[in-house]
Each structure stands twice: as structure tokens, then as C-alpha cells.
Amino acid sequence: MKNADQDFSVEDMEYLRHGEQALLLSLYRPNAGGPFPLIIDLHGGAWNTGDRTGCATRAGVLAKAGFAVAALDFRQGTDRYPSSSQDVHFAIRWLKSHAARLRLDPGRVGLSGQSSGGHLAALAAMRPNDARYATQPLEDSISVDAQVRCVAMEWPVINPYSRYHHAFKSLEQPETASWVKRIPEFHDTYWVDEETMIEGNPMLILERGEQIKTPPALWLQGTPDIVHDYRDPTTEQSLNEPERFEQNYRAAGGRHEIIRVPYEDREGAASFELLVPFFKKHLN
């Protein structure tokens, strides 16, 4: 659907089906030209809530800047980890395999994700060859990989295990308890146990020294943000989680930068415009 007030169109399409459950994506594309570099964008919601419409502001900013953006729905909640990662892995391959029809450039693909979607984006970027995520074959056995050229994370839950314990610790004090709400319940629903939170954990993947990919990464962080920018209560870490991840990612050979914005502005178009130079550098 073209919007007369915008420089881009939005088209909804089904990319995968699990039984009766159809998974949709919204594809934002500039109105003229192509093939376009593609950014696959993942919504937040503590792995339990939200849908692709939560990406609309960010997708609009990036589409105006000349990128195609695929905002995904994916399994979450009681479907449990690694269902979301399996759907994201498939979506990357599916979009590459249909690139010619959709006016996309399959050689210029990046990822973006907000909050829990940032966690999923990091996992997909770091583990593109993980057999547990590549469970869904493409039609006609098309061979396409799930590697991406870069990843932007908007205040990601980069360490599900530490965030789980951070939530319980915050409940101990009235002045920090108000943010927690259903976070522990959502972690229990999606992750089931702490061992799984440790396994599917970009921070701890780096600290375990797994063999992974480290495409250029950007972390956009609102400040202050007790939900995503905190010190891990399970360790003696002196760094907050954004700086800890940056240090680990660089030690693994990746390029990583953090951009901070005022918390109240973080979900506005002006903040998301800060992603544009990063994607232009790595996708153009």
C-alpha cells in the first residue's frame, strides 16, 4: 500500500506457516528504484507480547532513508525458545531467496531489533549457522545462508539471565520495584529455566568463547534505563551491560559502538535516524 504522504509503500505478506498459524511480515520499500538493501526488524515485548506493528516508526525512518525494511511477526511466549530464533533464521533466508521478486538485494542484509527483539537480532547475527535455528527448510531445497552484514540493537535485553535476576533484585526495594511487573513471569514462560537463559544468551556466548560471527554492531540506548542498562547482580562486574557487551564483542573481533539518547526520546523518529549512518556504512 502506497501512502501519498510518504516516500515508501508497505506490503503485508505471509512468509511462514506453522499449522494454522500464519506468520506475517510488513515490507516497507521506497516507492521508486531497487533492488534495495534490506533491514529485518524485530519487535520487543519480553518474548511474550507485541507484533510487527511495533516497528512502524523505525521502519518508516529507514525506508525514507532508502532501505527496505521487513518487520516480522514470529512465534513467542508459550512457543518458547528457540521458536523465535527459528522463525527469524527462516525469514532471513526466505527474503534472500525471494529478493528478485521483492526488489531486494540479497547481498546487503542487516538486522535490527528492540528490547527482546534486540536480543533475537544479536543471536541471529552471531549464530547464523546454528542447526537449532535452521530447522525450517526453504521450498524446493533452495540453498541460501542466514548471514547478515551488520546488526543494530535498540536497548536490547542482551543477557536474559542477568535481567531475570535484576528483576528479582529490583523487587527488594520499593523505589526500584515498579518497572518489574510481569517480567519474571514472561521469562519463565519463554525460557522455562535458567539453564536455557544462559544458553541462548549473547553476552554469555561471548564470555564462553563460542565460535560465532561478529558483524559490525550498534547499540542504541536510552538513558537512564533501569530495565536495560544495569550491572549484572549475579557477578562482580564493574561495567553496566551495554559496556560489558561492547568490551566482549570487541574482544571477539567485532566492531561495536554505543549511542546514548535521552530516555524520553528513545522511541522517536529523531533517535531512529541515528541508525541511518550505521546502515548506510555497512549496507551501501
The string of pLDDT tens digits covering residues 50-90 is: 999 999 999 999 999 999 999 999 999 999 999 999 999 99
Q: In this structure, is residue 44 part of a structural domain?
A: yes
Q: In this structure, is residue 2 part of a structural domain?
A: no
C-beta contacts of 76-80 below 8 A and 24+ residues apart? 76/45, 76/47, 76/48, 76/49, 76/50, 76/190, 77/47, 77/48, 77/49, 77/186, 77/189, 77/190, 78/189, 80/189, 80/190, 80/191, 80/192
How would residue 143 be classed by pLDDT, with cut points 50, 70 and 90? confident
Rounded CA-CA distance 208/252 in Å is 11
Q: In this structure, is residue 59 part of a structural domain?
A: yes
Q: In this structure, is residue 1 part of a structural domain?
A: no
CATH number of the domain to which 264 belongs: 3.40.50.1820
Contacts of 80 (CB under 8 A, 6+ apart): 189, 190, 191, 192
Q: In this structure, is residue 29 part of a structural domain?
A: yes
Q: In this structure, is residue 55 part of a structural domain?
A: yes
Is pLDDT at 4 greater than 80 in this prediction?
A: no
Other beta carbons within 10 angstroms of residue 35's beta carbon come to 16
Rounded CA-CA distance 262/141 in Å is 47
Q: What is the mean pLDDT of residues 86-97?
A: 98
The string of pLDDT tens digits covering residues 188-230 is: 999 999 999 999 999 999 999 999 999 999 999 999 999 999 9
Structural domain total, the chain: 1
Q: In this structure, is residue 3 part of a structural domain?
A: no
Which residue range forms the structural domain that includes residue 39? 8-283
